[in-house]
Amino acid sequence: MEDLSLHILDVIENSINADAAKIRLTITEDTGKNLFSIEITDNGRGMDEEAIKMASDPFFTTKAKRTGLGIPFLADAAREAGGNISIKSGKGQGTTITANFQHDHIDRKPLGDIEKTIAVLIAAGPHIDFIFEFKRNEKNYLIDTAEIKEKLGDVPVNDPEVINFIKDGIRQWLKDTQDMIRYDLNKSRHSGL
Amino acid sequence: MTRLTIEDLLKIKEKHQAEFNLREGGYRAKVTVHMGTCGIAAGARAVMTALMDEISNAGIKDVIVTTSGCAGLCAREPMATVEIINQPPVKYCDLNEEQIKQIFKEHIMAGTPVEKYVLVAGCETTY
């Protein structure tokens, strides 16, 4: 997969298949710490200890007759960029997957069209409460679909107009904060981090 | 006369349940884009985004789009299943953005499946 937003979609599809009703995605870019981090937390079925140990194995899956590749691919992408992945889970207690990347690593994949991933998730799972949080250094942007649904009343959250509104908001915020990341990244490189 | 089997009864039940579900939700059609790892890697997100854009541009409210996991035919991804009330479900394969736009216009809007992209029709439902 060419960008991280596709890995995110893949792993969140796992959460949906695990019957999660609430899913939180946090993407953190901290150029001071040279960190790019993706954290996905859900309240789905969770995994037992054996499943957690096996989760990075591409030939392991809890799905009948299928191969689970979402976590192994994300783990590979993290390791290729000088990072790591951690999984916290328990049967019936949901799952948290955290993938850390070295922000300025030459092999770190770009985030890609994250707004398209989010649009697909909301369109396909209007019943799920999603929280999407973006952090770029001290800047922060949060979308809570439970709040949006409350405000919309009878209008479904997967209405095309609502989804386009959410997509445009994310795209604009990422554009507005892009220069700050470039500037800080240059500064950290010059300072030898 | 061929005897009905339990499997036949289950298929009938599924079919009626499916139509009931679509009517209950106020939807005329449902499109399921297969969003397993294989589908995502092959371009399923772009296919679904193109479909959502078509629905948005057409200003229609009676078509629902959803996702499912791997359908078991990874080499034929991206795949999508179109289900319209009172018509057999149609599974399309090897899709791209232009093809799903054509499927939207000819099948979802006009009711005629685009045969050249069809993998299989009428043998299963996804709900």
Separation in Å, CA of A71 to nearest CA in chain B: 10
At A187 the pLDDT is: 58
Residue range B10-47, pLDDT digits in tens: 665 565 555 555 555 678 999 999 999 999 999 999 99
Residue A169 has pLDDT above 80, yes or no: yes
| Choice between B4 and A143, residue whose per-residue pLDDT is larger | A143
Does a structural domain hold residue B10?
A: yes
With beta carbons less than 8 A apart as the criterion, state whether A113 and A102 touch.
Answer: no
Number of independent structural domains in chain B = 1
At B71 the pLDDT is: 82
Residue range A63-113, pLDDT digits in tens: 554 446 889 999 999 999 999 999 999 999 999 999 999 999 999 999 999
Quote the Cα angle for A10-A12-A13, to 5°: 65
Separation in Å, CA of A102 to nearest CA in chain B: 23
At B13 the pLDDT is: 55
| Domain range enclosing B60 | 6-121
User: What SS3 class is residue A132?
Assistant: strand
Number of independent structural domains in chain A = 1
Does a structural domain hold residue B126?
A: no
Interface confidence (ipTM) of the complex? 0.87
| Domain range enclosing A45 | 4-190
With beta carbons less than 8 A apart as the criterion, state whether A11 and A70 touch.
Answer: yes
Contact B45 A13 (CB under 8 A): no
Mutual angle of helices B44-58 and A114-124, in 10-degree steps? 70
Q: What is the CATH number of the domain that holds A122?
A: 3.30.565
pLDDT > 70 fraction of chain B, expressed in percent and rounded? 76
Does a structural domain hold residue B89?
A: yes
Contact B49 A119 (CB under 8 A): yes
Residue A33 has pLDDT above 70, yes or no: yes
Separation in Å, CA of B60 to nearest CA in chain A: 9
Q: What is the CATH number of the domain that holds B75?
A: 3.40.30.10
To the nearest 10°, report the CA torsion of B39, A58, A112, A15: 80
Work out the average pLDDT over B96-121.
95
Does a structural domain hold residue B68?
A: yes
Across the interface, of A1, A17, A63, the residue whose CB is closest to B40 is A1
Work out the average pLDDT over B109-113.
94
User: What's the CA gap between A127 and A95, in Å, rounded?
Assistant: 19
CA distances from A42 to A24, A86, A129, B8, B79 (A): 6, 14, 10, 38, 27
